[in-house]
Amino acid sequence: MLAFVLIAIVKVLVVFTAMLLIVAYMTLMERKVLGHMQVRFGPNRTGPFGLLQPIADGIKLFFKEDIIVPHANRLIYILAPSVMVITALVSFAVIPFGDSVTILGHKVDMVVADVNVGLLYLMAISSLGVYGLVMGGWASNNKYSLLGAIRSSAQMISYELSLGLSIIGVLMITGSLSTVKIVGAQSQVWFVVYQPLGFLIFLISAVAECSRTPFDLTECENELVAGYQTEYSSMKFALYYLAEYAHILVISSLAVTLFFGGWQGPFLPPLVWFLIKVFIFIFFFIWIRATFPRFRYDQLMKFGWKVLFPLSLLNIMITGIVMSVIG
């Protein structure tokens, strides 16, 4: 029992630290990659190749004046960023990042918690994240924030739906909600081969779910100044950013887990394979940010409900038909 608790605590701490580190360096990666795509350098002054930039940013944001606007609902205003961060970080718990290993006679799964309803847990927790946006936007008592919050709630709900439906195909094939089992089922063929349409829908919904370009309507600076986070400063602002990038990390890991065989791969250790695949996805996220303009609010909703939603239903139907024919 003690061993079980100890292992769990160590795993949580290690994963938590690793996540924060990856998230910090994702910001650097994003700025570097964007810089090179946009004929400029990106950060290169803080440390060699700008490697200390995320740390400098963190320290700067930490020591910034923390402004709470008058007329804000203080409790909700302060609570909102932490809701975002907690949901984003906790949802990583069910992502397997390696095979089980035996340490001192104890079998240790390379996943924080192998829950038999893992995917359900993940979907539930990550949809809670939208509360962070809505609460923040509403509590700021600012019209731009409010508009951003309204947009984000509508967008999240719409795309949550197609995101959820797009992975039903995978569930039908494996017959399990456990992420560990799903990865195990892909030891021969990755599910992206069986579920190309599902993967496409998942990918688009995932970008929308993370509020990234071309779906970054919730905070689009050109229309809503900064959307829901207009009034946030200092560490609260940093928390929102942390949550946003953690969300990207979780969604990328989820994509890898569901469609690209998770940590499985030849020669290299499982963890390395997992990270390689995840970073390819993160790169993809940055790449589309550098390429596309932004959708308009009504177009976004139309796209979500009239294109993605029927398509994901169609995907489920096709999967069902094929499975019953093949048996």
Q: Which tokens in the block code for residue 298?
A: 């009504």
Distance from the Cα of residue 43 to its chain's centroid: 24
What's the min distance (Å) between Cβ of 227 and another protein?
A: 12
- Using DSSP's 3-state secondary structure scheme, residue 57 falls into helix
What's the min distance (Å) between Cβ of 30 and another protein?
A: 12
CA nearest to 281, candidates 252, 260, 257: 252
Residues numbered 112-171 forming contacts with another protein, rule: CB under 8 A:
143-144, 147, 151
Instruction: Classify residue 267 by burial, with Cβ atoms within 10 Å: 0-12, 13-18, 19+.
Output: exposed
What's the min distance (Å) between Cβ of 148 and another protein?
A: 11
| Contact call for residue 292 and another protein (CB under 8 A) | yes
Q: Which of 120-128, 165-173, 221-229, 261-269 is the region at the interface with another protein (rule: CB under 8 A)?
A: 221-229
Distance CA 319, CA 25 (A): 39
Q: At what angle do helices 196-209 and 234-259 cross, to 10 degrees?
A: 180
What's the min distance (Å) between Cβ of 81 and another protein?
A: 22
Among 11, 64, 181, 289, binds another protein (CB under 8 A): 289
Residues numbered 189-218 forming contacts with another protein, rule: CB under 8 A:
213-214, 216-217
Comparing CB distances to another protein, the nearer of 53 and 213 is: 213
Cis peptide before 214 (omega within 30 of 0): yes
Element (H or E) spanning 50, and its range? none
Among 296, 306, 320, 321, binds another protein (CB under 8 A): 296
What's the min distance (Å) between Cβ of 311 and another protein?
A: 16
Among 291, 310, 314, 321, binds another protein (CB under 8 A): 291
Binding mask 15-34 for another protein (x = CB under 8 A): -------------------x
Tally the residues of the chain.
327
User: Dmax over Cα atoms in the chain, in whole Å?
Assistant: 64
DSSP state of 260: S
Give the residues lining the site for another protein (CB under 8 A). Answer: 34, 37-40, 143-144, 147, 151, 213-214, 216-217, 220-225, 289-299
